[in-house]
């Protein structure tokens, strides 16, 4: 089996699992308890907060643990909308965001919040001038993702942040696919809120991170407890939080070498497939792009059929975002690039990660090419 779907989720290394296990077994205390079990759990969370803060250039007090990227995205967008309830409120996002941003914005739209979905160009990039032109006096928040989960394009969040800071507008970036894979330094990056998720960087599922710049106020999304300094109620997922700390520390340690290795694997994959299927195309800009992710389009076949045949051959890829797989609707991201429905439905996403090896590339290429011609000639 070859797992090439690391943008959907990743494997937990033994080194990280070892750090998590005590908190699922002998040291199972509730971090809010005053006795020694509680103290150990609380210390573990403090340590994880320190590790995360250090890895992304933030202060410990700016890091909040959540149940995942979805919750962190919901939290920022809903809390800002709530803060301005009863006043004219406009928010801006892009057409290629993850559904946890898009569907939240759509829900707010139904309750009267004005939302602008800025388009992207055919490479999947947000245009800065177009963004600037939609800012209004009552724009309260802009949410633009750092790296896209389907095509891997990396948005110019530095430039976007500077533009918004000059206009006095809050800026949130969904960095779920970026953190742990490309440098993210919040001591320089002009963003106010940032979302990350442990299971995308070899941590556990169900452990997310919200970074909130210290001077900015945000009301809780979940109420009913004093956890996370009163801003996120609910008993902490101690083992998950611990995984976030150690997995991020590990990912940052190998980030440069991994990025180089993964870029080469992606390049070899594209070259190998192009040699046998000259009509194949790459969806989204190649530069800047996440190191291990590539989205390819195949003339005349459906991505879903390709993915299914590949799965039978032991190669696991995706047709796009994991949450849209299984649905027959074409990807909103590929449609936003201007692809026709048919072309949007002929894409697969290959995403390599820490546990993929260069010798797997040849097998992926062979499997993709065999599967393609098998479907084409069926
Ligand atoms: C860009 C992006 N944002 C948010 C999420 C949601 O994160 P989580 O799975 O932790 O809820 C994902 C997961 O696929 C993602 O890729």
Q: Report the relative pairing of strands 293-297 and 281-282 from DSSP bridges.
A: antiparallel
**Ligand 1 mean position to 36 CA, how many Å?**
35
Q: Locate the ligand 1 atom nearest the alpha carbon of residue 207 and give its number.
A: 10
**Ligand 1 mean position to 241 CA, how many Å?**
16
Residue with CA at minimum distance from ligand 1 atom 7: 69
Q: Please give the Cα distance from 181 to 171 (Å, whole number).
A: 21
236 and 320 belong to one structural domain: no
Q: Report the relative pairing of strands 293-297 and 315-316 from DSSP bridges.
A: unpaired
Q: Locate the ligand 1 atom nearest the alpha carbon of residue 205 and give its number.
A: 10
Q: Please give the Cα distance from 202 to 243 (Å, whole number).
A: 8
275 and 176 belong to one structural domain: no
Final residue of a domain: which of 250, 285, 319? 250
238 and 340 belong to one structural domain: no
| Residue 171: its H or E element | strand 170-174
**Ligand 1 mean position to 202 CA, how many Å?**
14
306 and 333 belong to one structural domain: yes
If one residue of 10, 70, 181 were mutated to test the ligand 1 pocket, choosing by the most ligand atoms within 8 A of its CB, it would be 70
Contact between 124 and 339 under an 8 Å Cβ cutoff? The reply is: no
Q: Locate the ligand 1 atom nearest the alpha carbon of residue 8 and give its number.
A: 14
Token representation of residue 35: 């006795």
Residues in the chain: 378
Final residue of a domain: which of 199, 224, 250? 250
* Residues at CB less than 6 angstroms from ligand 1: 68-70, 73, 98, 100, 145, 149, 174, 176-177, 197, 208, 322
32 and 143 belong to one structural domain: yes
pLDDT in tens, 140-177: 999 999 999 999 999 999 999 999 999 999 999 999 99
**164 three-state secondary structure:** helix
Give residue 328's domain range: 2-8+255-376
Residue 165, pLDDT score: 96
Final residue of a domain: which of 232, 250, 268? 250
Nearest Cα residue to 222 out of 116, 66, 335: 66
Instruction: Write the CATH number for 115.
Output: 3.40.640.10
Full-model pTM: 0.97
DSSP 211: E
pLDDT in tens, 221-242: 999 999 999 999 999 999 999 9
231 and 277 belong to one structural domain: no
Active site residues: 323
Residue 136, pLDDT score: 98
Residue with CA at minimum distance from ligand 1 atom 14: 8
**Ligand 1 mean position to 198 CA, how many Å?**
10
Q: What angle do CA 239, 240, 243 make, to 5 degrees?
A: 85
Q: What angle do CA 58, 60, 62 make, to 5 degrees?
A: 65
DSSP 33: -
158 and 125 belong to one structural domain: yes
Residue with CA at minimum distance from ligand 1 atom 16: 149
Token pair 């590929």 is at which residue? 334
- What ranges in the chain are assigned the alpha helix state H? 14-20, 36-56, 69-83, 99-110, 128-134, 157-167, 238-276, 303-312, 332-336, 341-344, 358-376
Instruction: Write the CATH number for 335.
Output: 3.90.1150.10
Residue 287, pLDDT score: 83
Q: Locate the ligand 1 atom nearest the alpha carbon of residue 147 and give its number.
A: 1
227 and 269 belong to one structural domain: no
Contact between 51 and 248 under an 8 Å Cβ cutoff? The reply is: yes
**Ligand 1 mean position to 72 CA, how many Å?**
10
Contact between 155 and 126 under an 8 Å Cβ cutoff? The reply is: yes
Q: What angle do CA 295, 175, 102 make, to 5 degrees?
A: 75
239 and 259 belong to one structural domain: no
> What residue ranges of the chain have pLDDT lower than 70?
320-328
Can you count the helices (H) and strands (E) in the chain? 11, 12
If one residue of 65, 76, 98 were mutated to test the ligand 1 pocket, choosing by the most ligand atoms within 8 A of its CB, it would be 98
If one residue of 67, 93, 197, 333 were mutated to test the ligand 1 pocket, choosing by the most ligand atoms within 8 A of its CB, it would be 197
210 and 277 belong to one structural domain: no
How far does CA 146 lie from the centroid of its chain?
8
176 and 273 belong to one structural domain: no
**Ligand 1 mean position to 71 CA, how many Å?**
9
The full 3-state SS of 38-103, as one line of letters, equals HHHHHHHHHHHHHHHHHHHCCCHHHEEEECCHHHHHHHHHHHHHHHCCCCCCEEEEECCCCHHHHH
Q: Locate the ligand 1 atom nearest the alpha carbon of residue 145 and give its number.
A: 1
105 and 230 belong to one structural domain: yes
Contact between 241 and 45 under an 8 Å Cβ cutoff? The reply is: yes
Our count of domains for the chain comes to 2
């Amino acid at each position: 089996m070859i797992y090439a779907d690391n943008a959907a989720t990743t494997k937990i290394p033994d080194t990280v699992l070892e750090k998590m296990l005590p908190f699922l077994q002998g040291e199972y205390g509730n971090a809010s308890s005053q006795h020694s079990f509680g103290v150990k759990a609380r210390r573990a969370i403090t340590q994880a907060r320190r590790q995360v803060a250090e890895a992304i250039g933030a202060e410990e007090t700016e890091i909040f643990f959540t149940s995942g990227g979805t919750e962190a995205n919901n939290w920022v967008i809903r809390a800002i909308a709530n803060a301005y309830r009863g006043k004219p409120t406009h928010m801006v996002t892009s057409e290629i965001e993850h559904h946890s941003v898009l569907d939240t914005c759509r829900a707010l739209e139904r309750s009267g919040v004005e939302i602008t979905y800025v388009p992207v160009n055919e490479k999947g990039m947000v245009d800065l001038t177009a963004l600037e032109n939609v800012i209004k006096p009552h724009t309260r928040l802009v949410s633009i993702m750092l790296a896209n989960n389907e095509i891997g394009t990396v948005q110019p969040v530095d430039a976007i942040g500077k533009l918004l800071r000059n206009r006095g507008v809050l800026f949130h970036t969904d960095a779920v696919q970026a953190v742990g894979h490309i440098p993210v330094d919040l001591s320089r990056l002009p963003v106010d809120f940032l979302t990350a998720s442990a299971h995308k960087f070899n941590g556990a599922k169900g452990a997310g991170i919200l970074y909130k710049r210290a001077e900015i106020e945000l009301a809780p999304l979940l109420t009913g407890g004093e956890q996370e300094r009163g801003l996120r109620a609910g008993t902490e997922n101690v083992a998950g939080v611990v995984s976030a700390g150690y997995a991020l520390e590990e990912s940052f340690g190998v980030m440069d070498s991994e990025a180089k290795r993964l870029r080469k694997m992606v390049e070899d994959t594209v070259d190998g497939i192009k040699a046998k299927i000259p009509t194949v195309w790459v969806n989204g800009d190649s530069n800047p792009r996440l190191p291990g992710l590539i989205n390819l389009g195949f003339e005349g076949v459906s991505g879903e059929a390709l993915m299914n045949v590949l799965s039978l051959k032991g190669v696991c890829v995706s047709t796009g975002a994991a949450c849209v797989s299984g649905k027959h609707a074409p990807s909103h991201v590929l449609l936003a690039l201007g692809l026709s429905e048919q072309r949007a439905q002929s894409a697969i996403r290959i995403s390599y990660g820490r546990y993929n090896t260069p010798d797997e590339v040849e097998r992926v290429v062979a499997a993709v090419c065999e599967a393609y011609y098998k479907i084409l000639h069926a």
